[in-house]
Amino acid sequence: MEDPVKADDSDEKWEGYQGHTRAKHELLRYYLGPWLKKLGNGSTKLRIFDCFSGRGDYQSTDSVDPIKLKETETPADIPGSPQIILDRAVEFSHLTEIECVFIEKMEKNADHLRGNLPDKADLPNSVSYDVVEGKFQDVTKNQISLRGGWNIPTFFFIDPYGYSQLEYDLLTDISSTKGFEVLINMMASEVIRWQDVDKHQDALMKPFGTESWREELEEYIPDQLEHKEVGYYCKRLKENGPDETLAYLVTEEDSTAMKYYLVFGTNHPDGLEIMREGMQKCGPGKFAYAPHRDDIAQDQSGLEQFLGNKVREKLLTLFSGQEIAFNDIIRQYVVEEKRSAYRRKDIRDELKQMEEEGLIEVSRVTSKTQNGLGGDDKISFSKD
């Protein structure tokens, strides 16, 4: 991440390890597990791009515990995203070939990173990595083409400091590609800070991809996100990029102030479901790392049960009069209710209760017993 106060290759930049950084790394690690497991079983090769890799090394801190590596070792005091990615790749190396690409524009940082990664000879034969020196905007497309093209499932972790490096056309070209997914650090706090300053207008246009961003932002009506700048960014990204987006609030660890949002983009409802689960599990807040925001604390999600049976209500609204497979129900529900606290288990439990009450009929295709419900089991909803 590039800091306007501390140069990106200065030693001071990498001192300390903050709670919001760990939160970002935790979500990255969480998602890569099921992503690698699910796609590794059906793909001959997977790729992971870390597009602003940094040094792979933070200085020790007493206040925040680092993400622990399980499969690899590093001389770094605290590992960064490259080691977390590589550790996950080794964990699932038995499934398929996994190629990791670490892009870093600063030569000094790239040299540090090489020294903090495992020796290539010590990795499983199915796992490889390269450190590529260059700017994300300049080298990414070429690296995609050189490493097998645009038809290989690929995950991109895109974590710059600021917003000017999030070039709209590049991001939408990547995120609109089938099989490609992105997790983007959108520093909305910087957008809010500088959006009224004339000299920043050209830079602010880059992530939004339109000269009329200012007028459109003013007219934009926020959805469930409290910061309209992020909602508008997700809207713009979807217009030419991924089918679905999901945003995760990250605050300062010692206050309620917003630090940034992690914006996920995918073209598959299964990816949306997995990230939705991760965003609920990883932070002390509902779809957020917000340790001092009591209003979105995880235990608040249970209050939804007192607002009536939201799951049943939505299921009947979406599927009345239809016969549909269980997995397709989950996919449609997740798209419609992206930020709901309810998960696959809750939906399954409600469908079982509806079956007992005679509100639906179930033809079990995947499940072997009457207690099972999942996969391609067919569910028939009566008409209202």
Q: What is the mean pLDDT of residues 42-67?
A: 91
No. of H helices and E strands in the chain?
13, 11
Please state which of the ranges 2-16, 68-82, 338-352, 362-376 shows the lowest mean pLDDT.
2-16
Which residues, in sequence order, are bridge partners of residue 243? none
Q: What is the pLDDT of residue 2?
A: 43
In this prediction, residue 132 has a pLDDT band, given cuts at 50, 70 and 90, of very high
Q: Which of 381, 276, 382 is nearest to 329 (CA)?
A: 381
Please state which of the ranges 9-18, 26-35, 58-67, 241-250 shows the lowest mean pLDDT.
9-18
Please state which of the ranges 58-62, 178-182, 276-280 shows the lowest mean pLDDT.
58-62
What is each CA distance from 100 to 33, 126, 130, 145, 166, in whole angstroms?
A: 15, 11, 7, 14, 21
Q: Which amino acid is at 2?
A: E
Q: What is the mean pLDDT of residues 31-49?
A: 97
> Which residue segments constitute the domains of the chain, with CATH numbers given?
11-289 (3.40.50.150), 303-381 (1.10.10)
61 Cβ contact partners less than 8 Å away, ≥ 6 residues apart:
16, 17, 18, 78
Q: Which residues of 43-55 are buried (b: 16+ CB within 10 A; e: fewer)?
A: bebbbbbbbbbbb
Q: What is the pTM of this model?
A: 0.91
Q: Using CA atoms, how far apart are residues 160 and 158, in angstroms rounded to an integer?
A: 6
Q: Using CA atoms, how far apart are residues 214 and 195, in angstroms rounded to an integer?
A: 8
Chain segment 292-319, per-residue pLDDT in tens: 888 776 554 444 444 347 899 999 999 9
Q: Which residues of 129-139 are buried (b: 16+ CB within 10 A; e: fewer)?
A: bebbeeebbeb
Residue 356, pLDDT above cutoff 90: yes
Q: Using CA atoms, how far apart are residues 70 and 72, in angstroms rounded to an integer?
A: 6
> What is the SS3 assignment for 126?
coil
Q: What is the mean pLDDT of residues 341-359?
A: 93
In this prediction, residue 284 has a pLDDT band, given cuts at 50, 70 and 90, of confident
Chain segment 177-234, per-residue pLDDT in tens: 999 999 999 987 777 776 776 667 777 889 999 999 889 988 988 777 778 889 999 9
Q: What is the mean pLDDT of residues 109-137?
A: 97
309 Cβ contact partners less than 8 Å away, ≥ 6 residues apart:
350
